[in-house]
Every structure is written in C-alpha cells, then in structure tokens.
Chain A
Amino acid sequence: MRHKKALMKKVLMPTVILVLFSVWLPAENISEKIRLNGFLSQGYIYTSDNDFIPGTSKNGSFEMSEFGLTFSVDLTDQLRFGLQFLARDFGPIGDHQIELDWGFAEYRPARFFAIRAGKIKTPIGLYNEFRDTDALHPLAILPQSIYDEAMRGAFIAYNGFGLSGDFPIGPLGTFDYNVFTGTVNHPEDAPYITQIQLAINQGLQEFGLGISPIDMHTELFFGTRFIWNAPLAGLRFGGTYLHLEGKYDSLLSDPLGNISPISGKMEIKNGIFLFGELALGGLTLASEYMELPVDIYLDFFGQEMLLSDEVMQGWYVMLSYTFGDKLTLSALYDRFYADKGDSDGQGAMKMGYPNYFGWQKDFAFGIRYDINFNWTIKLEWHAIDGLAKSYVFADIYDTKRKWNMIVAKTSFNF
C-alpha cells in the first residue's frame, strides 16, 4: 500500500501534470507583460550493477523528474525581473520539494553591459545553466565528468551579483562575458557534502575519531566565463574560472564518547572549465575539459590539517546529428579521474576502495525524438567503466568495475 502511494507520488502525478500541460498550455504567450513558461520531465533509469541514482537505480527507478515554472516581466526598457521555481526528484535528493531555482533583477543599459542581482544560475561550461531542463540537451544524462550530479548543489546557482554582456570584435566575431560573485547555499543532503564528511572521517580514522554531518557555508565565491563566437556561424570556444572557499562546522567524537565542536574549510582554487562547440546544420560537436583542485582542511585543536588535496580532472567529446528536425542521434565519450594523473586509482586504494573508484569512463549512445516543439522523448545506453562519480552512494563490497545504464525520459515544455 505504502509502495503504491509512493509510486503514485513519484510517477503518476508528474505524468498527469504533464498531460494537462500538453492539453491546456500549448502556447507561450500568457500575456504580453508577464510571461509564463515551464517544463516537466519524467525519466526511468536502470543500471546493471551499480547505482547511479542513490539507492534505487540498480532495481530500475522512476525517481528522476523535474518540474519548472518560469515567470518573466519587463519592468522598464532596461530593467527586467524573472524567477523560476524548480521541483526535482533524484532518488533521495530533491523529493519534489519546490525551491527557487533562480530569481533576479537585471538592469541592462547597453548590449555590452548588464548587471544582475539575486539568485543567479552559475555560468559554467556549455550546459550548466539549463542542466535541469531536459529538452535543451541531447542526452538525458549529461557528461558526468563536467556535470557531476554529486557536485550539482555547489555549482547550480549562487546568491549575489553578476555582470554580463557581449560585443562585436569586427571580423573576428563576438565576445560574451560573465563575471560573478556571491555566496553558494550548500544543501545538507548534497552528495558532495557527504563526500567531504567521508574524506574527513577517512583522515581521522587512524586516531579513532569521527565527525558528524557537516554544516558548510560560503566564505568566498567568484568566477568568470568568456565565450568567443567565431565568424563561422555555430562555432564557439570559451572557458570558466571558479574560486570557492567554504567553512564547515561539525561535532567531533572520540573513542571515549566525548563530543566537541570542530571546524575546517574547503577550497576550490583555480577551477578551470574549457569548452568548444561546432553547430553546423544538423551536426553538433561539443567538447569540454575541466580541472578542479579541491583542498579539504580540518582545524584540529588549533592546527590546520590538510586532509585531501585532489585535482579532479575530466573531459568529454559528444557528437550529435539531427535528421530533419525530429530525430537526433548522439554519441558520447566521457572520462573522469578523481585525482589528475592517478589513472590507475592508487589514491582510491589508499582510502580502502577498489582502484576503479579512481576513474569513470562512459561511452554512451542516445536517440532523441522531438514529437513537436514542446514534447521530446529520449532513450540512451551508457557503458561505464569505473565508479569515481558514485562512490559516496556505493556499498563498496557490492560494486563492479564495468556496468551499464539505460535511461528513458520524456519531457514537455511550453
């Protein structure tokens, strides 16, 4: 009975809403002044040996959906306001809780200069800002080397200010830029928060110590993204630079049962994302490269201990071809290392994991069919080697190095 109710909540409700939207809201124009748009998607995921969605996908799971509503209004010729509510379900994460995905005011006095204030999507790479809108990318599962589900909470949006604009550079095309700063909300249930807690506990294990779940808050966050749009239509190159410093608080327990407050910090300094894309007719060729140095410190009775200093490294190449506006075939090769240069997983083994927790390589093939402008269906298969992206969810004694993932997803937007 309880299972049936859960299934109803997870699957049937989104499906009913999706059908209702498709019947009643086929047009984008709700009003000339206030504009309403939205999207809804429902997926099914099955993995052969390891979980991709925490605790569920190995048995097949419908716990993969998103629902967004977007409002936009022009307040004056230069000032506009918009916000988007998002509810998502990703196994135990999200659980259809409605949250403000982004919401900000933008003043744009000139093409080359706009200033935003509020909660703003973080401009990382090619897909980060619309990673939750399934219809806007070719594969349902984005390349995990760059768009890691575990790190989503840290990079999806920030609260603060952003400058942006674009300007022509003569025969060389145009140049787009973003500069941003603010704070990041670190969700308590975010997988990377659990990963940090695990890493700290690994470091403290030899002393018989352990810490409780951590409470992370941002100390410093800033970054920039630039894009060069080449004179050849559809060709662009760019990069994102990120700096994120966070401080955490927790409780330390010793073998005698004593509990005392403890703190530390996480630093991502000189995070780099580089990308290029060629969209020519029905062909899209996209590639990205990332290096993300993550240092984790613990303030251990007045002494700063460096517990982890890994440089995450990832890259992918994705090729898509659209036949006649409806059918798109995509192929992806995606590669990630938990620590740059450690291609045989020595770091993972030192922490007691199998060596294949040190990398993740994904070869994927996907079919996308656009029934019309508003309705999309996708089917894809991933052949994966390694488990570097999922270890926080995994029972290490019940994992395999090589595994497969099949995803079916449909989405509606208006």
Chain B
Amino acid sequence: MKGKILIIMLIILAGSLPALAREYSVIVNPANSIQKLSARDVQDIFLGKSTAWPDGSKIKVAVFKKGDVHKTFLGDIAQLTPMQFSVYWKKIIFTGGGTPIMVVKDEAEMKDFIKANVAAIGYISPAALDTGIKDVPLE
C-alpha cells in the first residue's frame, strides 16, 4: 500500500515538474509562423548570432534590463548573468557587430513591443501571457 502511494506521489510530482521549471515563456507576435524553437535557436537569437527568421525578415529582440525572469532566462539559455549579457552586447554594439537589441522596462512594455512588431521575440513570466501574444514551445 505504501509503495502504491509513493508511486502515485512520484507521478504527480513528475507531472508538475514542467510547470515548476517554466519560469519564463518565449513569446512572439501571433502573426509569426514559427511554431517551436530549440534552446539553441533561442540562444543564437538572443546572442545576435541568428538575425533572421526563416522568411528572411530581421529578428527584433527585446530583453529586460533586470529582474528574476531576466536572470533565469539568461542563465538557462545562454549560461550568462545579466551583467555578463550586458557586457556581451556592448562588445557587439561598440565594435559595430550588430544593431542593439531593444531593452524594455517591464512585462507590459515587452508585450506592447511584441504585439507591435511581427518579427519580434521576447520572454515574460507565464502568468503574464495573454491572447495578443504567442507562447513558443521550447524543444
């Protein structure tokens, strides 16, 4: 009996793990045809290595300057702290290696930017998702 209870608890726990791990959602404009992205794709986009969507349009990246979502997202996708990420992009900017990414101050501004730009990509906390933006599953 105890063994069955343990198994049931493990199943429940296992089912809840993705939700626990999901501290951010990668978001794009609903008109963007992209259906899913790999973690490597997301890393390449936010580090400025991939600059175009499959249709050739230029990717418009938006990030937060600070905050827990920002910290978790960068740690997961690029293994960088917010300070390291900031320095990484400044190296690109001050050498002409690329156009600066958009820095937004909060989730409302992030969502406004995504809604206004078909080629935009960003991230927010799952709780902030709404109907005007598309949550892109990560492989």
B35-59 vs A, Cβ < 8 Å mask (1 yes, 0 no): 0000000000000011110001110
Q: Is the CB of A136 within 8 A of B91?
A: yes
Q: Is the CB of A77 within 8 A of B83?
A: no
**Contact of A37 with B93 at beta-carbon distance under 8 Å, contacts A234-B79, A370-B83, A373-B86 already known:** yes
B interface, how many residues as a size bin?
20 to 34
Let me know if A166 is at the binding interface, CB within 8 A.
yes
What residues on B are CB-neighbors of A152 within 8 Å?
Answer: none
Q: Which of B7-15, B18-26, B99-107, B125-133 contacts A (4 or more CB under 8 A)?
A: B99-107
**Contact of A373 with B56 at beta-carbon distance under 8 Å, contacts A37-B94, A80-B99 already known:** no
Chain B nearest Cβ from A86, distance in angstroms: 10
Q: Is the CB of A29 within 8 A of B102?
A: yes
Q: Is the CB of A77 within 8 A of B103?
A: no
Q: Which 3 A-B pairs have the closest CB atoms?
A: A77-B58, A129-B95, A325-B83
Let me know if A35 is at the binding interface, CB within 8 A.
yes
Complex: A121 Cα to B91 Cα, angstroms: 12
A interface, how many residues as a size bin?
35 or more
Q: Is the CB of B94 within 8 A of A130?
A: yes
Let me know if B82 is at the binding interface, CB within 8 A.
yes
* Interface majority SS (helix, strand, loop, mixed), chain B: loop
A173-192 vs B, Cβ < 8 Å mask (1 yes, 0 no): 01000000000000000000
Let me know if A89 is at the binding interface, CB within 8 A.
no
Q: List 25 A-B contacts (CB under 8 A).
A: A27-B103, A28-B100, A28-B103, A37-B90, A37-B93, A37-B94, A68-B94, A70-B93, A72-B98, A78-B56, A80-B98, A82-B99, A106-B96, A111-B49, A129-B97, A130-B91, A130-B94, A130-B95, A136-B90, A136-B91, A136-B94, A174-B49, A325-B81, A325-B83, A373-B65
**Contact of A136 with B81 at beta-carbon distance under 8 Å, contacts A37-B100, A111-B51 already known:** no
Let me know if A398 is at the binding interface, CB within 8 A.
no
Interface residues of B in 60-91 (CB under 8 A from A): 65-66, 78-79, 81-84, 86-87, 90-91
Q: Taking CB as reference atom, which chain A residue is nearest B89?
A: A28
What residues on B are CB-neighbors of A136 within 8 Å?
Answer: 87, 90-91, 94
Complex: A72 Cα to B83 Cα, angstroms: 22
Chain A nearest Cβ from B30, distance in angstroms: 20
Q: Is the CB of A135 within 8 A of B103?
A: no
Number of inter-chain CB pairs below 8 Å: 89
Q: Is the CB of B96 within 8 A of A102?
A: yes
Complex: A131 Cα to B49 Cα, angstroms: 22
Q: Is the CB of A74 within 8 A of B95?
A: no
A354-380 vs B, Cβ < 8 Å mask (1 yes, 0 no): 000000000000000010010000000
Q: Is the CB of A104 within 8 A of B103?
A: no
Contact for A78 among B58, B81, B90, CB less than 8 A? B58
Let me know if A108 is at the binding interface, CB within 8 A.
yes
Complex: A116 Cα to B102 Cα, angstroms: 23
Complex: A121 Cα to B97 Cα, angstroms: 10
Let me know if A120 is at the binding interface, CB within 8 A.
yes
Let me know if A39 is at the binding interface, CB within 8 A.
yes
Q: Is the CB of B49 within 8 A of A102?
A: no
Complex: A258 Cα to B54 Cα, angstroms: 70
Q: Taking CB as reference atom, which chain A residue is nearest B49?
A: A166
Chain A nearest Cβ from B62, distance in angstroms: 10
Let me know if A413 is at the binding interface, CB within 8 A.
yes
Interface residues of B in 94-126 (CB under 8 A from A): 94-100, 102-103
Q: Is the CB of A121 within 8 A of B93?
A: no
Contact for B94 among A70, A73, A166, A326, CB less than 8 A? A70
Q: Taking CB as reference atom, which chain A residue is nearest B83?
A: A325
Let me know if A313 is at the binding interface, CB within 8 A.
no
What residues on A are CB-neighbors of B103 within 8 Å?
Answer: 27-29
What residues on A are CB-neighbors of B51 within 8 Å?
Answer: 108, 111
Among B52, B83, B96, chain A packs the most CB atoms within 10 A around the CB of: B96
Q: Is the CB of B99 within 8 A of A413?
A: no
What residues on B are CB-neighbors of A130 within 8 Å?
Answer: 90-91, 94-95
Among B51, B66, B81, B103, chain A packs the most CB atoms within 10 A around the CB of: B51
Let me know if A12 is at the binding interface, CB within 8 A.
no
Q: Is the CB of B94 within 8 A of A32?
A: no
What residues on B are CB-neighbors of A29 within 8 Å?
Answer: 102-103
What residues on A are CB-neighbors of B82 within 8 Å?
Answer: 325, 373
Contact for B99 among A35, A102, A135, A325, CB less than 8 A? A35
Let me know if A233 is at the binding interface, CB within 8 A.
yes
What residues on B are CB-neighbors of A74 within 8 Å?
Answer: 58, 99
Q: Is the CB of A133 within 8 A of B50?
A: no
